[in-house]
Structure 1
Amino acid sequence: MVLNSVKETGVLVVGAGPSGLALACDLARRGVHALVVERAAALFPGSRGKGLQPRTMEVFDDLGVVDAVLAAGGPAPVGMVWRGGERQGEHRLFDVPEPTETAPYTTPWVIPQRRTQEILLARLRELGGDVTFGTAVTGLTQDADGVTAELSTGGTVHAAYAVAADGGRSTLRRALGITMAGESVGPHPMLVADVRVPALDRDHWHMFPAADDSGLYAALCPLPGTQDFQLTAQLPAGATPDLSLDGVRGLVAARTHLGADDVTEVRWSSDFRPRAALADRFREGRVFLAGDAAHVHSPAGGQGLNTSVQDAYNLGWKLGAVLRHGAPDSLLDTYEEERLPNAARMLGLSTRIHRGEARRGAATQQLGIGYRDASLAAETREGLARDALRAGDRAPDGPCGAGTLFDAFRGPHFTLLAVGTDAELPPPDGALLHVHRIPPYEPYGKGLFLVRPDGYVGWAGEDARGPAEYLASLDLKQP
């Protein structure tokens, strides 16, 4: 589809990466039309962001794509260390707890980034949306009523809001004058490629430490649902990566026991300099930054794509509240308030893992991310135990009637959960508020919990008037 005239939309999303597609899906199910424009002619073709963390799997559950993601991927394989062509034994990259009632997804899930994006695009099309490929934003202005974007096709788009989800080198971020401060997290450039290596078994994530004291390494990770491996390799400082078939073959032969001819195909290849960078703000008027446009991570620890998807999940319900439920524009200020500090923490974690200063563990699963100190967290109880669930925390899963709490939460609505209390509850309010009552449940204790559309507790207390007062403070109305 080519845009060559004036078009009106609720939200202009610039970039069809994971954050842009997830945001468009979330908006579409809320009845908010998003026009997604992508400079490239097609979706990203490589495997780069291949690891999905448990919290992202929960987001995908809510967005209706988790079954497709589970079918297309697989658990992260156990590492196998090689030296001198001999297997040295297995190496576990991270600790993986068993699934529980409160957290049904605990295993990092490996799926090529291209498949994640294909699944999100298919879901967007199911919801009535699409992506306009081969279209870049060449100019953007904004006023009190919206934004106007000029497109490379010669068309113009008017939107209430725009979201820059156009990657670490974001054109839109630069045009807005938003700076991104960062640092290199290591001196070595990296090569990443999707390769075919039939001679190598697909039961392990194969790791090849340097044979000398250079510290350089290579690794080959089997990609579920494909015949490919993802090759990652550190290169000497100052080296210029050779991304050609012969260059990748030569690198594999030099770093592993495999021969150059064992690499039968290079399906995609790229290079990058590992760095950590964070935008100084995530909002400029009616334009928001999301994903790599707002924060750039080292790939170590698998935080970049996951943090990006959760940016979209946080912003989506707030844009929906403003555009569909009449909430004030000031609600959108909480996007930066909540996401910027969390992005900063995840950047620090990625950098420490890259430098070998931290291990992949509970923090990388992102289940502990929360917004307790943010303005939307209203905790009205006193004397709580240190480990008690509080407003601002992720709402745990658990049994609810014939299903689960995640079943109850699924959708664009708020959920009022009454746990072990006979308090009189307000009636459900159409698409805005669903109400459920369950017996006492240890992860929650007892009380009333108003769960936001993104699965975090917004209000917690015992006074049945509190949830209505909280929603009234947001000034939400039925569309």
Structure 2
Amino acid sequence: MASLAVDKVVKVLISGAGPSGLVLALSLRKNGIPVRIIDKELGPRLGERGAGVSARSLELHKILGTFPDVYGDNRKPIPWRRDYDPLDGHKIVKTFSMVPISEPTIGIPHGSPIFLGQNHHERILRSHLAELGTTVEFGTELLNFTQSENEVNVETIHRTPDGKEEVSQSTASWLIGADGAHSAIRKTLGLEFLGETIDSIALAFGDFKISGPPRKFLEQWGDVKTRFTFTRPSAQDPDVLNFMMAGDINIEEILSSSKATTEAFYNISGRRDIIIEDVIWSSKYRPNIRMVNKLRVGRVFLAGDAAHCHSPTGGQGLNSSIQDAFNLGWKLALVEKGHASESLLDTYAEERLPVIAEMLNKTTELLKHSPLAGKAAPPRSQADNIRADMSQLGVTYRGSSIILQKATNAGLIQNIGYNKASVDAAQPGDRAPEAPGLVDVSGNTFSVYSLLSPSRHTVFIFSGGYSGEDLDRISGLVRQQPVDTVHGVLVHSAQTTPADNCKFEKLLDEKGNAHATYKVDGPCIVIVRPDGVIGARVDDPSGVAQYFKTVFQDHV
């Protein structure tokens, strides 16, 4: 019988150590918030699973400090796809790129997605979390919880590989359900998971362990009108090949044993020259296209697959989960520190739900025209148009209640969601563009994203046109905000020289990159949120006070 233990109070309890849970935990720890993160699995999950990392996710990794590991030496671009003759698995029919190629620019230096197996992605996040003193408690499952006005009481059970069990009770200020599509927390909250399961589509998927030369392409064999198989090489492990089989197949029989899975692949592909040594993991999958209509109930939140799940087309699951976590993290940190009202937390759903809804529509459209639906691909231009949005660089929060939009730019306001103009418009609600070549007085160089932090807002003051009195006023407004929550940076061109007594960090925009990517042609103040989103863009210093009054409300 399980023993009962009583744990101490924790600030934030996160159930689920997938990408959303890990990113949220790391974001909160970077804000100095104590976190406990649990996962019912006995150890890290096997398998590549969601391997595509979008351009926007790469930018968020820069802010989080994990970019060098994510975009390290083992990174791989999305491979080209190679389709074979249904009657001859050795005969190549066509080879092509599945994703639009994005050449690097000053504002978007990493515009193309990369492949990083989810198992490796999560390992990187766990490593950075461990450096901050937080480790994932594997083998620990949330059994139930109740909440009051000020806390959440939880009961968990910890299981060890040798079968021992221990039940514990603890209290948290906040509970986060990042526990996947079958979320126990979502079900306990009684939230509807609106949408559909597409029963007409079912597939077997998993990872093979192979020997011999590594595969270099995304490869498809068979006939999409009958049965086919699709494989993807691992970006990090040359002996791992991710597979998917669909169509007129008996999935239960295929997954009954490693031998049956291997034989099914050979029968469809005709490629016995690909030597399969083992099946690392496998599972049955049906597309679920669902989302909640709430992301918060009191002191409990949902993020990632617990809040939305969708077809695998478009590679939006992992990346949307990361954006969920980043959006919630800085807001929850401000509230927990007492710098902002709890009403700030309502903007998590306000900003994320419209994006999720539109994402589901886009990925479902891709699914309808995919081999999984037994149909030929849509016209290339139509597919590329949809896939271009999969970079998530065009995700915008324009129109959010905490985004400050100048009245003169009212015509630019659009609904929260995807907006192609927001990729590089540098308007309030849009992503903050990158800009290299900022130089301090000692000759050190920076980029915009190297100055951003998950624990503070960054105020960029483009100095041209501001008097010394104006800068003193802006400095005073920045200093009025809660300690360590706002960092001011004065960006000046070679033609302007800031006063010696300027109280901001002073950086020379040596080649004009920042002025160009932010489209600055006069006095301008750009406030970038901790999640890399432009919260305000104003010319009058009073806009600084107006924006932060909205975020911090009466806590300044």
TM-score range, shorter chain: over 0.9
Match of 1:224 in 2: 235
Quickly say closer, same or farther: Cα 1:268–1:432, change in 2 above 3 A: same
Match of 2:460 in 1: 417
Match of 2:393 in 1: 367
Worse overlay, 79-88 or 434-443 = 434-443
Whether the 8 Å contact between 1:249 and 1:260 is mirrored in structure 2 is no
**Separation in structure 2 between the aligned mates of residue 318 and residue 233 of structure 1, nearest angstrom:** 42
Match of 1:120 among 119, 125, 136: 125
**Separation in structure 2 between the aligned mates of residue 420 and residue 225 of structure 1, nearest angstrom:** 45
Match of 1:379 in 2: 405
The one-letter code matched in structure 2 to 1:409 is L
**Separation in structure 2 between the aligned mates of residue 476 and residue 29 of structure 1, nearest angstrom:** 23
Match of 1:336 in 2: 349
Instruction: Give the percent of matched residue pairs that are identical in Structure 1 and Structure 2.
Output: 30
Task: Please say which structure displays the higher CA radius of gyration.
Answer: 2
Q: Deviation at 1:202?
A: 2.4
Q: Deviation digits for residues 297-333 of structure 1, max 9, x if unmatched?
A: 1111100010001100000000011012421111000
Q: Deviation at 1:442?
A: 2.9
Task: Indicate yes or no: 2:476 matched with 1:475.
Answer: no
Match of 1:292 in 2: 305
The one-letter code matched in structure 1 to 2:518 is Y
1:62-461 → structure 2 map (5 Å cutoff): 62-71=63-72, 72-83=74-85, 84=88, 85-152=90-157, 153-185=166-198, 187-199=200-212, 201-210=214-223, 213-214=225-226, 216-226=227-237, 227-236=239-248, 239-240=251-252, 242-243=254-255, 244-259=257-272, 262-356=275-369, 359-360=383-384, 361-383=387-409, 388-399=425-436, 400-401=438-439, 402-419=445-462, 421-423=464-466, 424-425=470-471, 426-427=474-475, 429=479, 430-438=483-491, 439=493, 441-446=515-520, 447-461=524-538
**Separation in structure 2 between the aligned mates of residue 3 and residue 121 of structure 1, nearest angstrom:** 28
**Separation in structure 1 between the aligned mates of residue 4 and residue 213 of structure 2, nearest angstrom:** 47
Gapped runs of 5+ residues in structure 2? 158-165, 370-377, 413-420, 440-444, 494-511
Task: Indicate yes or no: 2:9 matched with 1:4.
Answer: no
Worse overlay, 39-48 or 70-79 = 70-79
Whether the 8 Å contact between 1:195 and 1:265 is mirrored in structure 2 is yes
Whether the 8 Å contact between 1:15 and 1:167 is mirrored in structure 2 is yes
**Separation in structure 1 between the aligned mates of residue 54 and residue 258 of structure 2, nearest angstrom:** 32
**Separation in structure 1 between the aligned mates of residue 4 and residue 94 of structure 2, nearest angstrom:** 56
Stretches of 4+ aligned residues off by more than 4 angstroms:
383-388, 476-479
**Separation in structure 1 between the aligned mates of residue 251 and residue 426 of structure 2, nearest angstrom:** 50
TM norm structure 2: 0.81
Gapped runs of 5+ residues in structure 1? none
Whether the 8 Å contact between 1:223 and 1:229 is mirrored in structure 2 is yes
Q: What value does the CA root-mean-square deviation take over the aligned residues?
A: 2.2
Whether the 8 Å contact between 1:49 and 1:305 is mirrored in structure 2 is yes
**Separation in structure 2 between the aligned mates of residue 256 and residue 213 of structure 1, nearest angstrom:** 15
Q: Deviation at 1:385?
A: 8.1
**Separation in structure 2 between the aligned mates of residue 156 and residue 322 of structure 1, nearest angstrom:** 25
Whether the 8 Å contact between 1:20 and 1:165 is mirrored in structure 2 is yes
Q: Deviation digits for residues 352-400 of structure 1, max 9, x if unmatched?
A: 1112255253200000001002111111251588554321111111133
Whether the 8 Å contact between 1:194 and 1:266 is mirrored in structure 2 is yes
SS at match of 2:9: strand
Worse overlay, 18-27 or 54-63 = 54-63
The one-letter code matched in structure 1 to 2:488 is V
